[in-house]
Amino acid sequence: MRGEPPEGPPWDVPMAEAELAFVDLEMTGLDPELDRVVEVCVERVVGGEVVARLSSLVRPDDGRVGSEHIHGIQPEMLASAPAFAELADEVLRVLRGAIVVAHGASWDVAFLEAELARTGHAHTIPFSLDTLTLSRRSFGFRSHSLASLARELSLDAPRAHRADADVRVLRQVFDAVVRELGAATPRDLWHVKLGAGYARPAVMEVIEAARLSGQPVALRYRPSGRGPQEMSFVVTAVARDLDPPRVHGYQLPSRSRRELRADRILGARLDTPPGAS
């Protein structure tokens, strides 16, 4: 992990004001040092509106297409396409100053950085948002591929494994996880992690306020392998020495005792449910 994203915009502004660059690439293989990008789509979005866009096939400098069985891009389709070097300036213009959002983001980031470096436009993307991680934390689905998420969430999904179509699905998945997680800022989303025993600071602030005040808290909680549950919860203790932290208390109105994993709390807000004292 490379520390925290820098303070201020675009990480600490409301989601509706954040500049986001949704990225999808089609590649000849899985090695950024050896393989090449054959299609790129980048949409820069603010408040749900596209403010800049680049979508193009890309002619690999080594002449290979590769992975045709996945993306369906044929050699003849690339014959008149620009090389990545011809697109590099525009790619940087759409990306610069925005937060990269991608599905399995580490792959897209690695390939973008490698392609830009080859053209003499060295550009590092140290922080990004990964909808694969976000969806795995948000939903109890069996598969979290873009195609599976499109089916599960009933999204508008054109052909899969083409960059422009995948960006359309990517944006819808992102909107769904933002709603599910109740994220106020991109930094809050960046704090959503898998397998790290990590609880979002924004959630823990509300939990601690509930513990100190005795006021019920409205929780959205996702048990392992199941969908999210809404509950009204009274926090009596927080075990921060455990990994991940555990939140102890009781559920209303039944007053049944519960121990919750803090990293599985999708959202929290102080609340006084009807009939609660």
Over residues 17-59, the pLDDT tens digits come to 999 999 999 999 899 999 999 999 999 999 999 999 999 999 9
The answer to whether the peptide bond before residue 10 is cis (omega within 30 degrees of 0) is: yes
Inter-CA distances, 111 with 5, 35, 118, 125, Å: 21, 9, 11, 11
CATH superfamily of 15-189: Ribonuclease H-like superfamily/Ribonuclease H (3.30.420.10)
Cα separation, 43 vs 230, in Å, equals: 34
| Cβ within 8 Å of residue 63, ≥6 positions away | none
Domain positions in the chain are: 15-189, 201-270
pLDDT at 277: 47
pLDDT over 90 at 221, yes or no = yes
Look up the pTM and report it.
0.89
Inter-CA distances, 150 with 10, 80, 120, 161, 170, Å: 27, 32, 37, 13, 9
Over residues 193-202, the pLDDT tens digits come to 876 678 899 9
pLDDT at 69: 58
pLDDT at 1: 44
Q: How far apart are the first and last CA of the chain?
A: 44
What is the pLDDT confidence band of residue 4, given thresholds at 50, 70 and 90? Answer: very high
Cα separation, 208 vs 72, in Å, equals: 52
Q: Of 40, 156, 159, whose CA–CA distance to 88 is shortest?
A: 40
Sign of CA dihedral 227, 228, 230, 235: positive
CB of 37 closer than 8 Å to CB of 25: yes
Lowest mean pLDDT among 154-158, 260-264, 270-274: 270-274
Cα separation, 167 vs 200, in Å, equals: 27
